[in-house]
Amino acid sequence: MKALFAMDLMGGKTVRLRKGDFQAVTVYSEDPPSLIEEMVHRGARDFHIIDLDGARTGEPVHGEIIKRIRSTVKGYMEVGGGIRTDDTIKYYSDLGIDGIIVGTRALEDEEYFEGLSRFPNIVLGLDLLGGKPMSRGWKSAVDRDPATILKAAERIGIMAVLCTSIERDGMLTGPDLTGLTAISGMTRLPVIASGGVSKIDDVRRLAEMDVWAAIIGKAFYEGFIGIEEAMGYAD
């Protein structure tokens, strides 16, 4: 399992939101690239980077910061937020981004979704609220069930699925193990677990579930999980 350390970017800063609420923001760093350098020095290897401003505007905002981060990160790095065109996918691919997270447009535009088969590094963002897929920064419900979406994702060759529990995101209440088990049972795709990780025991339990990766965000920034102990469960 990969331990993906999360970094959300907003206004050029490292932040965390509660349940995706842009009004419930905590700032953790004024200099995201420097924080990444520090984390890598302490042993972090793989990263999950989200351009929150991009998610709101529908196009990338923090491309230059992400480029600087990629120059530091030597392990797996995935990026999401505002990725809704082929040009943006190509831009991030050219930066050497390993996983490109596509959510809103892929879930709302079937023709665009089918066209993603041209790219080998697409991570499908499946954000769930009460088990139902959401889009547009978690504001709009998607009129398709997860099983149907996952079946189509397998068919077109999506690389992995990022499963986020909206209710638990940034809440430190533990991952939705029941929901993750259900999603894993619906697909052969690698599953990335996101939302709720609060302590090292959560990381252990996700590793035992054999998810492909676990995202560690607020629990790291608040000091509840250290990099070294998290990497103890990483491969």
Split at pLDDT 50, 70, 90, the class of 140 is low
Please give the tally of structural domains in the chain: 1
Provide the domain limits for residue 127. 2-231
Residue 78 near residue 100 (C-beta atoms within 8 A)? yes
Q: Choose between 24 and 148: higher pLDDT.
A: 148
Q: What pLDDT score does 167 carry?
A: 78
Q: Using CA atoms, how far apart are residues 89 and 2, in angstroms rounded to an integer?
A: 23
Per-residue pLDDT for 137 more than 70?
Answer: no
Q: pLDDT tens digits for 197-212?
A: 999 999 999 999 989 9
Q: pLDDT tens digits for 43-53?
A: 999 999 999 99
Dihedrals φ, ψ of 99, to 5°?
-130, 125
Q: Which residues are catalytic?
A: 8, 127
Q: How many other β-carbons are positioned within 10 Å of the β-carbon of residue 90?
A: 12
Q: What pLDDT score does 21 carry?
A: 76
Q: What pLDDT score does 144 carry?
A: 84
Is this structure's pTM higher than 0.75? yes
Q: How many CA atoms lie within 13 A of 169 on its CB side?
A: 24
CATH of the domain at 121: 3.20.20.70
Alpha carbon 99 to chain centroid distance? 9
